[in-house]
Amino acid sequence: MGDAVPSRAKVWRRRAVEALILVIVIVGIRAWQQRDVVSGAVPALAGSLLDGSAYVLPAGRPVLVHFWATWCPVCSAEQGSIQSVSQGDYEVVTVAMQSGSPADVGRHMAGQRLDFPVLNDADGRISAAWGVHAVPASFIVGRDGQIRFVEIGYTTEIGLRLRLWLAENF
């Protein structure tokens, strides 16, 4: 008679293989999402914010550059974290990727009660210069003007704050 119940070793081996496959799939997806994302020196980032004021990426301090879109449900889930970080001690600028006119983005911001700084990227030029194909995308720029961290997809407020702190202190 055969053994109808698999041994514990076989069960754990199967679970380990399944976990390894899951990790490989996740790493593959992240690599594909970040295939064109810039690294090293920060590309130029300047323009008019939604409020009409001029913006130039500051030097000498860490900055969160966050790409998002009004049509992105993951971005909507993350916007509270971006709002909170923007009201703290760190510089934050966001880029609304292909989300319509400045008035469209402004209405979205007002409707969601958000007030973080936004550069409107209606034609996708800024996103293309940074190699962003998927949103949300968060870049942590160090004091030295180098991109220190890149995250594509949902990121927690704690994760953003930790990366900003590391960029400021190391």
What pTM was computed for the model?
0.84
Average pLDDT over residues 154-159: 96
Tens of pLDDT, residue by residue over 74-109, are 999 999 999 999 999 899 999 999 999 999 999 999
CATH of 40-169 among 1.10.3720.10, 3.40.30.10, 3.40.50.720, 3.40.220.10: 3.40.30.10
DSSP secondary structure, 26-47, as one string: HHHHHHHHTTT---EEPPP-EE
pLDDT tens digits for range 15-40:
999 999 999 998 887 777 777 788 89
Place of tokens 């000498």: 60
- The ranges of the chain annotated as CATH 3.40.30.10 are 40-169
| pLDDT score recorded for residue 120 | 97
CA-CA-CA-CA dihedral for 22, 27, 33, 38, to nearest 10: 170
Bridge partner residues of 48 (DSSP): 54
Model confidence pLDDT, tens digit, residues 119-138? 999 999 999 999 999 999 99
